[in-house]
Structure 1
């Protein structure tokens, strides 16, 4: 699986002015503006990596070597379509069995949209999959892409990166980013600004992290992918 950013965030979740207020700096003094802005970006990137999501709207291309091929039960769909499973099995399992093996998890929630799905067919030609042939679940985190009911993903050429899924992710603009994330970024910027070296050299000084700080990100973490 490959992942490439095609459009970065238009702004940071925390503005330069907000950071300077947090640092108790004079807003009219621009001496440290460039440094503070770089610290905001560094803190945001770290928080995104911890949470496994993106904050302000970004665009990505997700590359796969092929579409998912197997159903929930590990059999080839062309031989045993799950839609034709015995009715008793479907009664026993009250979830959408067919989607489990065909689902594609889209990284970096919150998923806003799937903009295009293209693939290289067995003849080597690049095809764009009609949006009516797949279902986008933007409610789940991570978001999920599945084929339309009673259909399966098309065959692809046996090559790397045969499938490309272009998508838009993030909460929206800076105003839409949760306050807990913004607070963590401000605290991290404050720490980085006050300690601008890799190590702290001091004598008879106790350094202790505030235990609650990193827990601010806990509600926004994506713990794993299905």
Structure 2
């Protein structure tokens, strides 16, 4: 399974004004730094939770599929397309009528209707990245616990922005941030 971002998020989940208010910063000299910290904090929270926060378009590439396709990085907003490349290089778009999407499960599941329980029936692993799923994931309204974790992380990064910060545990992520993040972590389905 390979995963890559096709379209980056347009907006961050935290505005510069929100971050500055949380950190009690009332000057503009560090605005560029704080903007970078917002992105870094969002990335950290996304990686730790295995979620997508702002709306993002992804491509999932698979060599073969033997059952359902698990769509990572919830919450799933939409499946934009599923394509398959055969061994002669012909790319076919799978009609949406041929599959169902369980977008309530996290991670979401895509199941082929015609080969129910038998997989997708058109892949043998002969072509690398033969199956490609283009999908959009993310929140239109990000959960408050994750926004709070991002704000706390921004403040932590801002206070400990030097390469070698002084003090005990100054470089470690605060326990409260990890506790908030753990509430939303996605685990693989069994």
Name the CA shift for 1:213/1:122 in 2 (closer, same or farther; >3 Å). Answer: closer
The runs of 4+ residues in structure 1 deviating greater than 3 Å are 149-152, 205-211
TM-score by length of 1: 0.76
TM-score by length of 2: 0.90
Partner residue in 1 for 2:82 = 117
Within 5 Å, which residues of 2 pair with 1:1-226? Answer: 1-26=1-26, 29-68=27-66, 102-148=67-113, 151=116, 152-156=119-123, 158-172=126-140, 176-201=141-166, 211-226=175-190
Checking the alignment, whether the CA contact within 8 Å between 2:5 and 2:58 is kept in structure 1 is yes
How far apart, CA to CA, are the structure 1 residues paired with 2:169 and 2:176?
Answer: 18
State the shift of 1:189 in Å: 0.7
3-state secondary structure, aligned to 2:162: coil
- Based on CA coordinates, which of the two structures has the bigger radius of gyration? 1
State the shift of 1:216 in Å: 0.8
Superposed CA deviations along residues 169-196 of structure 1, whole A, max 9, x for unmatched, are 0112xxx001111111111111111111
Over the aligned positions, Cα root-mean-square deviation in angstroms equals 2.0
How far apart, CA to CA, are the structure 2 residues paired with 1:201 and 1:103?
Answer: 50
May I ask how many residue pairs the two structures share in their alignment? 186
